[in-house]
């Protein structure tokens, strides 16, 4: 098992949940902040999860072609 | 703090992934070596992150942010002085002996190098200590969740213990290591935004500096004498006690962390594991300590944030969770809380898997039932997992009698780990050191630690024999306990070794410096251990200069 695959999916899923929270309930704010924390953190996690999945897919292709 | 349904969804998702990883890895376990040693086949980036995560327990997250609020950036010495140099040392100098000797555990190395009684001493004290640490970690988390979320102490302890048990039982060390990496990523991603948001709200690092006394934003400037800084530690105690004895004792000889490197797929990977781990390690203060410092600045700036209080004084242990409640909306709050649970689980799984290996190989196979077929030991390993988790739960309830978690841990390390580094140093680099020397050295080191604690007083702690000296803080006392323990062990080991018969040089090949072929590095250009160590060293010096 390539650990990047489950980790990638995990962060992608959490990122999607946070991003949609940020998009659809933008009024959801922390008591002391006036920033859409869910949206930014969610987008970052989607990128990070996608990056891990990309790495995993590349290394799988590399193994298969060898 | 109240959680929204989405927070519970995130928590549940995390539990599902952790258990899923254990379930997928169960097929890889067919021998005791697969279960207890990962079959020595784990990729380098995974062993490196696990090397960090196994130590990044819940009490570290809570304790480090608490110390950040109490002492300031000086707390980062626990990383910059108290971890990174030792990690470089174990990777460059000690790993060739651990990995090269094919020992399955640190106690087993002691048996190969010295003798049976030295191994027994280390195996038993280590097994006790892992169960103890894991219980303390569990206690810290249970208490926090009870305080912050109103969850039942018993329920949160039992649930998280059951999940750790399930995935370590299924996939053994590999499962623990793989999950530790996921946990590490989650801890960083869950807490780094908190640090950034809190610092930004406090006006950046510059804003923090203007609001706090200079002693809280400088790491070295006020270390000249113990009375100048709130830690009550002077530079010698810090560097010799924490930086040399405690730190090297922990990172170089504690099987909990060394086991992660020993699971690597090659000698070069085993050596690079702690070196590669040192890079993120020195940046962890920015995730765990800086939020604590920012919290104090925020409280002083009148931003609406107030430090949590208990019995009329600030309750630093709650700094991290109150910050989360104020800076994270529902959603991200769930991620932060999941990160906290993750840190607890990785700390606990680290202890349980190390306990497993030492109990099964060094105690059960050596003294209780030697010579059985391998399947028998695999079975024992699995049962030990259950026993280890059960004992930890029991210790969690016992730990309710002690309040300061970090100090207690330091004390335990002082008694057990501090003399141990002298034994390894002499064992690996001085071929004349003998088994009798090592054993009496260890005994006298532990005795010296206990004596120092019994003869000195700090914050009403210790002094149960006599009151000969007062330390300004228990931290200073712990550092000096370690210094005395190490020196006693070193001296006695040398003296007794000189008076006893050494083993012939042929029996020490692969175990001692000078009698072991130095491994050739086959890593890629930048992953060569020597080069990595230099890079880490330079970054470390720059960091210390920056926060001087």
B432 to B190, B505, B514: CA distances (angstroms): 50, 9, 12
Structure-model confidence comparison of residues B233 and A50, the more confident one: A50
pLDDT above 60: residue B410: no
Judge: B331–A28 Cβ closer than 8 Å, yes or no.
yes
Task: Indicate whether A66 belongs to any domain.
Answer: no
- First-to-last CA distance in chain A? 18
Lowest mean pLDDT, pick from B153-162, B255-264, B523-532: B523-532
Which of B43, B53, B331 to mutate to test binding with chain A, by most A CBs within 10 Å of its CB?
B331
Strands B456-458 and B469-470: parallel
Q: How many CA atoms lie within 13 A of B314 on its CB side?
A: 18
What pLDDT sits at residue B223?
73
Average pLDDT of the segment spanning B35-58? 84
What pLDDT sits at residue B17?
93
Task: Indicate whether A50 belongs to any domain.
Answer: yes
What pLDDT sits at residue B402?
62
B342 contact residues in A (CB cutoff 8 A)? none
pLDDT above 90: residue B479: no
- Nearest chain A Cα distance for residue B324, angstroms: 9
Q: Which of B451, B462, B510 is nearest to B485 (CA)?
A: B451
- Express as a percent the part of chain B with pLDDT over 70: 95
Task: Kindly report the backbone phi and psi dihedral angles of residue A31, in degrees, each rounded to the nearest multiple of 5, phi listed first.
Answer: -50, -40
Residue of B nearest to A33 (CA): B327
Work out the number of other CB atoms within 10 angstroms of the CB of residue B367. 13
Judge: A32–B304 Cβ closer than 8 Å, yes or no.
yes
B182 contact residues in A (CB cutoff 8 A)? 3, 6-7, 10
Contact predicate B349/B256, CB 8 Å: no
DSSP string, B514-529: TSSPPPPP-S-GGG-H
Cα–Cα distance between A17 and A7 in angstroms, integer?
16
Which of 313-342 (B) contact A at CB < 8 A? 325-333, 335
- Residue written as token pair 């309040």: B403
- Nearest chain A Cα distance for residue B247, angstroms: 30
B332 contact residues in A (CB cutoff 8 A)? 18, 30, 37-38, 41
Q: Token pair of B37, please? A: 């040693």
Beta bridge partner(s), residue B313: B310
Residue of A nearest to B185 (CA): A7
Q: Which of B252, B244, B127, B251 is nearest to B482 (CA)?
A: B244
Judge: A3–B181 Cβ closer than 8 Å, yes or no.
yes
Task: Indicate whether A36 belongs to any domain.
Answer: yes
Judge: B13–A14 Cβ closer than 8 Å, yes or no.
yes
pLDDT above 60: residue B526: no
Query: Structurally, how many domains does chain A consist of?
Result: 1
How many cross-chain Cβ pairs, A to B, lie less than 8 Å apart?
83
B176 contact residues in A (CB cutoff 8 A)? none
Task: Indicate whether A56 belongs to any domain.
Answer: yes
Q: Token pair of B438, please? A: 């090592």
Judge: A31–B326 Cβ closer than 8 Å, yes or no.
yes
Cα–Cα distance between B548 and B223 in angstroms, integer?
10
Contact predicate B225/A56, CB 8 Å: no
pLDDT confidence bin for B404, thresholds 50/70/90: low
Average pLDDT of the segment spanning B139-152? 83
What pLDDT sits at residue A10?
94
Q: Which of A3, A6, A38 sits opposite B329 (nearest CB)?
A: A38
Task: Indicate whether A16 belongs to any domain.
Answer: yes
Task: Indicate whether A32 belongs to any domain.
Answer: yes
Domain assignment of residue A32, given as a range: 4-61
Contact predicate B457/B467, CB 8 Å: yes
Judge: B332–A28 Cβ closer than 8 Å, yes or no.
no
Task: Indicate whether A55 belongs to any domain.
Answer: yes
CA B15 distance to own-chain centroid: 23
pLDDT confidence bin for B406, thresholds 50/70/90: very low
Contact predicate B193/B43, CB 8 Å: no
Average pLDDT of the segment spanning B320-342? 89
What pLDDT sits at residue B498?
92
**Using N-to-C axis directions, what is the helix angle for B374-398 and B332-357, rounded to 10°?**
130
Cα–Cα distance between B259 and B247 in angstroms, integer?
17
Cα–Cα distance between B16 and B231 in angstroms, integer?
42
pLDDT above 80: residue B514: no
Cα–Cα distance between B48 and B485 in angstroms, integer?
30
Task: Indicate whether A27 belongs to any domain.
Answer: yes
A1 contact residues in B (CB cutoff 8 A)? 21, 24-25, 178
Q: Which of B492, B469, B517 is nearest to B237 (CA)?
A: B469
Cα–Cα distance between B445 and B545 in angstroms, integer?
35
Cα–Cα distance between B286 and B48 in angstroms, integer?
19
| List of domains in chain B | 8-401+518-546 (1.20.1730.10), 404-517 (no CATH)
Lowest mean pLDDT, pick from B183-192, B195-204, B456-465: B456-465
Q: Does B25 touch chain A (CB under 8 A)?
A: yes
Lowest mean pLDDT, pick from B115-124, B236-245, B372-381, B417-426: B236-245
B178 contact residues in A (CB cutoff 8 A)? 1, 3
Our CA angle for B248, B351, A56, nearest 5°, is: 95
Structure-model confidence comparison of residues B20 and B53, the more confident one: B20
Which of 282-311 (B) contact A at CB < 8 A? 303-305
| The dihedral sign for the CA sequence B107, B109, B110, B116 | positive
Q: Is B456 helix (H, G, I), strand (E, B) or coil?
A: strand
Q: What is the DSSP letter of B311?
A: T
A9 contact residues in B (CB cutoff 8 A)? 17
Q: What is the pLDDT of residues B447-459, one digit of tens each?
A: 999 899 889 988 8
Contact predicate B265/B98, CB 8 Å: no
- Nearest chain B Cα distance for residue A7, angstroms: 6
Average pLDDT of the segment spanning B303-324? 84
Residue of B nearest to A3 (CA): B178
What pLDDT sits at residue B521?
57
- Find the radius of gyration of the CA atoms of chain B: 23
What pLDDT sits at residue B412?
66
Q: Which of B9, B181, B328 sits opposite A30 (nearest CB)?
A: B328
* Regions in chain A scoring below 50 on pLDDT: none
């Amino acid at each position: 098992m390539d650990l990047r695959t489950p980790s990638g999916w995990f962060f992608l899923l959490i990122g999607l949940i946070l991003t949609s929270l940020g998009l659809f309930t933008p009024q959801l704010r922390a008591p002391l902040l006036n920033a859409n924390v869910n949206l930014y953190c969610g987008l970052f996690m989607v990128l990070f999860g996608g990056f891990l999945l990309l790495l995993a897919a590349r290394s799988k292709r590399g193994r298969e072609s060898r | 703090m109240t959680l929204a349904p989405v927070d519970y969804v995130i928590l549940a998702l995390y539990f599902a992934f952790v258990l899923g990883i254990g379930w997928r890895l169960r097929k890889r376990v067919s021998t005791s070596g697969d279960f207890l040693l990962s079959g020595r086949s784990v990729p380098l980036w995974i062993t490196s992150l696990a090397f960090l995560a196994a130590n990044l327990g819940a009490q570290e997250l809570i304790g480090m942010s608490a110390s950040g609020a109490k002492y300031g950036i000086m707390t980062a010495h626990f990383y910059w002085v108290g971890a990174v140099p030792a990690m470089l040392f174990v990777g460059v100098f000690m790993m060739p002996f651990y990995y090269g000797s094919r020992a399955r555990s640190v106690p087993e190395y002691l048996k190969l190098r010295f003798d049976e009684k030295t191994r027994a001493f280390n195996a038993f004290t280590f097994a006790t200590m892992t169960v103890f640490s894991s219980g303390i970690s569990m206690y810290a988390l249970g208490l926090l969740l009870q305080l912050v979320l109103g969850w039942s102490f018993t329920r949160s302890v039992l649930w998280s213990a059951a999940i750790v048990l399930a995935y370590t039982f299924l996939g053994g060390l590999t499962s623990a290591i793989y999950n530790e990496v996921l946990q590490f990523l989650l801890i960083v991603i869950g807490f780094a935004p908190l640090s950034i948001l809190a610092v930004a709200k406090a006006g950046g690092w510059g804003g923090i500096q203007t609001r706090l006394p200079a002693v809280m934003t400088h790491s070295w400037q006020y270390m000249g004498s113990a009375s100048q800084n709130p830690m009550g530690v002077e530079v010698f105690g810090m560097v010799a006690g924490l930086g040399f004895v405690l730190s090297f004792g922990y990172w170089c000889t504690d099987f909990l962390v060394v086991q992660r490197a020993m699971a690597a797929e090659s000698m070069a990977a085993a050596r690079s594991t702690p070196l590669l781990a040192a890079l993120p390690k020195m940046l962890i203060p920015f995730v765990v300590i800086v939020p604590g410092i920012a919290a104090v600045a925020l409280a002083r700036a009148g931003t609406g944030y107030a430090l949590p209080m208990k019995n009329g004084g600030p309750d630093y242990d709650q700094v991290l969770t109150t910050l989360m409640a104020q800076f994270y909306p529902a959603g991200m709050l769930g991620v932060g809380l999941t990160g906290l649970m993750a840190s607890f689980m990785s700390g606990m799984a680290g202890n349980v898997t190390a306990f497993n290996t030492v109990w099964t190989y060094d105690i059960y196979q050596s003294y209780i039932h030697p010579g059985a077929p391998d399947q028998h030991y695999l079975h024992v390993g699995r049962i030990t997992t259950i026993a280890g988790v059960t004992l930890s739960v029991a210790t969690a309830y016992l730990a309710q009698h002690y309040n300061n978690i970090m100090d207690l841990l330091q004390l335990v390390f002082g008694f057990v780990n501090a003399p141990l580094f002298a034994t390894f140093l002499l064992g690996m680099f001085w071929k004349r050191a003998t088994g009798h020397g090592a054993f009496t050295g260890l005994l006298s080191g532990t005795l010296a630690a206990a004596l120092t604690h019994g003869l000195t007083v700090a914050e009403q702690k210790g002094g149960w024999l006599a009151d000969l000296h007062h330390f300004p803080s228990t931290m200073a006392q712990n550092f000096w306990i370690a210094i005395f323990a190490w020196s006693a062990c070193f001296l006695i080991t040398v003296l007794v070794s000189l008076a006893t018969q050494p083993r012939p040089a042929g029996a020490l090949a692969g175990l001692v410096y000078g009698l072991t072929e130095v491994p050739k590095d086959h890593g890629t250009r930048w992953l060569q251990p020597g080069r990595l160590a230099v890079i880490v060293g330079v970054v470390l010096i720059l960091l210390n200069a920056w926060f001087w």
